[in-house]
Chains A and B, each alone.
Chain A
Amino acid sequence: MDYNIDTLNNIKSGMTVIVREIRGGKNVRNRLMEMGIIEGASIHVVTNSGGPLIILVGKSRFAIGQGIAQKILVNILRNDVSQD
């Protein structure tokens, strides 16, 4: 599959991405994973307009600060980018 890599904080509203890697300290990493934000999970970005992001992971919605979003590395599908 062809994709670009970016951090979650740079993903625009309305896009869906796949988690590639979670960086940062053990606490943040584990907490995210336990909430279902794991490698391979798909994240739909509902809102990203400067403040915290609103994301949809599976059936759960989360508000997540830009700081942590920066630690989540995601894959963007190419055709998603061209659509944008």
Chain B
Amino acid sequence: MANLTVALAGNPNTGKTCLFNNLTGAKQHVGNWPGVTVEKKEGKILYEGKLIKIVDLPGTYSLGAYSEDEIIAREYILNEKPDIVANVLDATNLNRNLYLTVQMLEMGANVLIVLNMMDEAKKMGIEIDIEKLSSALGVKIVPTIASKGKGIDEIIKTIIENSNMKRDTEFKVDYGEKVEEQIDKLVQVLKKDREIIAKYPVRWMAIKLLEDDNNVIGQIQNTNNGKEIIKHVRSLRKALEKELGVNLDSCIISKRYEFIEDLTEQFVTESKKDIVSPTDKIDKIVTHKILGIPIFLAIMWLVFTFTFSFSAPFIEWVEYGFSALSKWTETALISIGASQLFISFIVDGIINGLGSVLEILPVLFMLFIAIAVLEDSGYMARVAYVMDGPMRSIGLHGKAFIPFLLGFGCNVPALMSTRTLENKRDKILTILANPFISCSARLPVYILFTSIFFSKNQPLIISSLYLIGILMAVISIKLFGKVLPKNEDSSFIIELPPYRFPTIKGVLIYMWEKVSDFLKKVGTIILAAVIIVWLLSSLPFNVEYASSESFIGRISSVIAPIFKPAGFGTWQAAIALIFGVLAKEIVVSTLGVVYKGGIYGLNTAISQHFTPLSAYSFMVMTLLYAPCIATIGTIKNETKSIKWTVISVLYGLIAAWIISVLIYQIGLRLGFM
């Protein structure tokens, strides 16, 4: 049990995640694009015998009810009631950052302000009278430079000193005489409801109701007098808006800003220094009307060239290493007199099965280094800007492009990043199309098959697979776009963070996070699949290993004919695809187990059982068919709908079958082999 719970909250790009890492010593990646923390993350620190739990909330501009991350952050503060909310502010952008602070203070949270990026503020000539601002807000303020680790101890000390702090006066923003009058009346009404008093700060509730906050209205509906209260509020709003002549929600937001401006005018001085920011200079080029897209394509080309050409020699090393390992192990096991069955398990099962997957490791190192550089530099948000035009032509907008870009790494975080899309329709379309984007787990399959059949034009063949994936994504968006009802509120707005030099530490943390995820996957789900496939290949006892008489042979022979029109009707291909749903790398590890004889043996077996054409068709099948289990789970989580999850899986299966059959049949007629 933690003695203290601290929530970290703040706008996107305020250095929140960086601070979290500094506080907890965790190695979490810090991105430079809005929406890095889409899920709340936890870490723990032990300080002078106290255990402090730190929860990193998603970065939000507000605690309204407009996006899921805002609701996550708000519900955590309301329901879990952390002892302290450490609110991270960007000192160079106080007015906007304080907006969130004011909202949290209104919720009655015990707020501690972490004033971050003090060095940048100083450079810009911004001076903040911290003491006076602190006493005006009634909140402790700790200045920090998270990127350099400055002020971290101060934060922990202040957290411990203030964990039991109770304000002597309730924090209040003055909303003007007429609105205040109605707030007071509403408070009286709400106070009669015990359920509400127990759960929510009453004045906050009254303000939210006047703001017409959907989330609060939804929650209050279920209380005893909920329906009556809502009815009452509706007429109040109407009367007030008529009297004031403005939208009540806008009026309330403006009043909060007025309150903030009043503070910053008193306590913040800015000596105007006109620096032409390097960000604007870079933006002039990379967001150029004509050059923007070619620059983006060139960068992507560089990313993939870098990934594949740098990793190629290492792949050979790994291949050689595993082949040597399996020979050595076999000899060693024979010499100590291990049973035939055990040798087969270790060599054919574990080493060959996992080795064929681990071959991909060098590619992953390079790919994730490249993606980390893209994310950390701040370029990711510019991609959204540059791709807005093309995305519009298929009925989405630029922000929906980020999930596709992340999909080249892994579809799971890509799908989670769809949370930053405000519009439900955009979100569903992006989710349905994303699994077709070729993630890194498909690479072992491409690399295995292209190295056997297309060694001369490997880059061309692999690029064509990526293109087929992208094309299918586009077609799916068009297709489902026709079915889903249009809503006009598809507005594009994204913050463009200042460019920052990616740090080596940051890039390595990111890469290691992804690679260790992969290694965990190899050690758990892929290992388990390897063992099961080996067992099914070895049983029943008296049959030849991995023959059509073994369990695995018998089971998959039933399914194999389905794939015959696509060119690969063997039971080995069928079983690889079936197990591949667990994780697409398993397609390769399964082939490694059922075609025994070491990694080089696997190559020989594949060149006997496939032709170049059927190999291509098989790769397309692997690319397009059902998403892996983790992706399916994420689709379910993000759409919160079994219907869409089932549609996504079935759609993938059917589309994959049709397209690989078309490729094989047309290829045959064209004279390919």
* A interface list, Cβ under 8 A from B: 22, 25-36, 38-39, 46-47, 49-52, 54, 58-65, 67-68
Contacts and interface: CB of A to CB of B under 8 A. Distances in A.
29 contacts: A26-B212, A26-B247, A26-B249, A28-B489, A29-B250, A30-B66, A33-B253, A34-B64, A34-B99, A34-B253, A36-B96, A38-B253, A46-B283, A51-B385, A51-B388, A51-B389, A54-B283, A54-B287, A58-B96, A60-B495, A61-B283, A62-B494, A63-B388, A63-B496, A65-B398, A65-B491, A65-B493, A67-B491, A68-B491
A33 B251 CA distance: 11
Interface in B58-101: 61-62, 64, 66, 90, 92-93, 95-96, 99
Contacts of A63: 381, 384-385, 388, 398, 492-494, 496
A33 B99 CA distance: 10
B93 A68 contact: no
A67 B287 CA distance: 19
B280 interface: yes
A67 B492 contact: yes
A60 B280 contact: no
Contacts of B496: 54, 61-63
Interface string B266-300: 00000000000001100100010100000000000
B489 A25 contact: yes
Contacts, number: 106
A54 B389 CA distance: 14
A30 B388 contact: no
A22 B283 CA distance: 27
Given A46-B280, A62-B496, A63-B381, A28 B491 contact: yes
Nearest to B70: A34
Contacts of B385: 51-52, 54, 63
Which of A31, A34, A67, A68: most chain B CB closer than 10 A?
A: A34
A51 B390 CA distance: 11
A27 B422 contact: yes
Interface residues of B, number: 41
Question: 9 closest Cβ contacts across the A-B interface?
Answer: A65-B492, A36-B96, A34-B62, A63-B385, A61-B496, A59-B93, A68-B491, A33-B253, A34-B61
A69 to B, nearest CB: 9
B257 interface: yes
Contacts of A32: 493
B102 to A, nearest CB: 11
Interface-central residue, B62, B388, B398, B492, by most chain A CB under 10 Å: B492
B607 interface: no
A31 B494 CA distance: 11
Contacts of B280: 46
B427 interface: no
B254 interface: yes
Given A58-B96, A63-B384, A67-B490, 13 more contacts: A30-B64, A30-B250, A30-B253, A33-B253, A38-B254, A46-B280, A50-B289, A60-B96, A63-B381, A65-B388, A65-B397, A65-B491, A67-B492
Contacts of A33: 250, 253-254, 257
Interface string B475-507: 000000000000001111111111000000000
B241 to A, nearest CB: 12
Contacts of B96: 35-36, 58, 60
Which of A25, A27, A54, A64: most chain B Cβ within 10 A? A27
A36 B95 CA distance: 8
A17 B469 CA distance: 44
Contacts of A30: 62, 64, 66, 249-250, 253
A40 B242 CA distance: 23
A61 B498 CA distance: 8
Contact of A31 (B397, B490, B493): B493
B260 to A, nearest CB: 10
Most buried by A among B93, B96, B124, B253: B96
A67 B124 CA distance: 33
Nearest to B284: A47
A68 B493 contact: yes
Contacts of B61: 31, 34-35
A58 B384 CA distance: 22
A24 B490 CA distance: 12
B66 A68 contact: no
Contacts of B93: 58-60
B247 A68 contact: no
Interface in B23-60: none
Nearest to A38: B257
A49 B494 contact: no
Contacts of A31: 61, 66, 422, 491, 493
B257 A64 contact: no
A68 B253 contact: no
Interface string B591-609: 0000000000000000000
Contacts of B388: 51-52, 63, 65
Contact of B492 (A25, A52, A61): A52
Contact of A35 (B254, B493, B497, B498): B493
B95 A51 contact: no
A9 to B, nearest CB: 12
A54 B95 CA distance: 20
A4 B212 CA distance: 33
Contacts of B397: 65
Nearest to A67: B491
Given A26-B247, A26-B249, A63-B384, A51 B289 contact: yes
A74 B385 CA distance: 23
A47 to B, nearest CB: 7
Given A27-B66, A34-B62, A35-B495, A22 B250 contact: yes
Contacts of A34: 61-62, 64, 99, 253
A17 to B, nearest CB: 17
Contacts of A27: 66, 422, 489
**Chain A CB within 10 Å, residue with most, of B62, B289, B495:** B495
Contacts of B124: 59
A31 B595 CA distance: 57
A33 B249 CA distance: 10
A39 B254 CA distance: 8
A33 B248 CA distance: 13
Nearest to B90: A59
**A27, A36, A60, most chain B CB atoms within 10 A:** A60
Given A33-B250, A47-B287, A51-B289, A64 B492 contact: yes
Given A35-B96, A46-B280, A68 B492 contact: yes
Contacts of B422: 27, 31
Contacts of B398: 52, 63, 65
